[in-house]
């Protein structure tokens, strides 16, 4: 069985660094997609992502902007804790943060697959198109982190 990995970029390109996820998705090589691996820039379409997750993906790589904890441009790669993200409830067609996506998925009768987050601390999410300098500088490393996560998940799922 071919493992299936969904790589989802999320964020609003009209809010500065919140456009990190879509920008990383734009920079991923098309060769990363293949049998069982789908690359998709969801932008602000959280419900669309929730519905796509109902298709039974083995794993998810979520690419998103993270709140700043004092180091704009810092890249973080971690496994999502779905239990702590379950505080939101119900279907919300207007919310895009991961907790809202996973809550929508649960409201639709699904459950989230194992998820790796590739995120970057923002400098600004003010109105405007384009990433700040430190966040833009993190995009190439983020693209490499996504490729590494896909390789790891494809191998792990393929063996499991």
75-131, pLDDT tens digit by residue?
A: 999 998 877 655 544 444 445 678 888 888 888 999 999 999 999 999 999 999 999
Phi, psi angles (nearest 5°) of residue 70:
105, -5
- What percentage of residues in the chain have a pLDDT greater than 90? 70
pLDDT for 11-25, tens place per residue? Answer: 999 999 999 999 999
Q: What is the rounded average pLDDT of the residues 148-153?
A: 94
- Decide: 118 and 8 in contact? Cβ < 8 Å: no
- The neighbour count for residue 36, using CB atoms within 10 Å, is 16
Q: What's the confidence (pLDDT) of residue 26? A: 96
Q: What's the confidence (pLDDT) of residue 112? A: 92
Burial of 112 (0-12, 13-18, 19+ CB in 10 A): buried
pLDDT for 21-76, tens place per residue? Answer: 999 999 999 999 988 999 999 998 888 999 999 999 999 999 999 999 999 999 99
Q: What's the confidence (pLDDT) of residue 160? A: 46
Q: What is the rounded average pLDDT of the residues 150-158?
A: 78
Distance CA 51, CA 152 (A): 25
Q: What is the rounded average pLDDT of the residues 131-146?
A: 98
Domains in the chain: ranges and CATH: 5-148 (3.40.50.1450)
Q: What's the confidence (pLDDT) of residue 121? A: 96
Q: What's the confidence (pLDDT) of residue 60? A: 96
Q: At what angle do helices 133-159 and 20-27 cross, to 10 degrees?
A: 70
Please report where in the chains the tokens 């069985």 appear, as a residue: 1
Q: What's the confidence (pLDDT) of residue 150? A: 96
């Amino acid at each position: 069985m071919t493992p299936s990995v969904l790589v989802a970029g999320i964020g609003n390109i009209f809010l500065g660094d919140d456009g990190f996820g879509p920008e990383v998705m734009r920079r991923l090589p098309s060769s990363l997609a293949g049998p069982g691996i789908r690359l998709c820039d969801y932008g602000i379409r959280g419900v669309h992502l929730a519905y796509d997750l109902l298709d039974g993906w083995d794993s998810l790589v979520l690419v998103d902007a993270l709140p700043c904890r004092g180091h704009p441009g810092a890249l973080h790669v971690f496994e999502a804790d779905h239990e702590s993200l379950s505080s939101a409830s119900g279907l919300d067609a207007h919310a895009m943060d991961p907790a809202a996506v996973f809550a929508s998925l649960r409201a639709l009768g699904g459950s989230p697959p194992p998820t790796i987050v590739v995120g970057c601390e923002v400098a600004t999410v003010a109105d405007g198109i384009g990433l700040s300098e430190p966040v833009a500088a993190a995009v190439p490393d983020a693209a490499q982190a996504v490729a590494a996560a896909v390789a790891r998940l494809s191998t792990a799922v393929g063996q499991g």
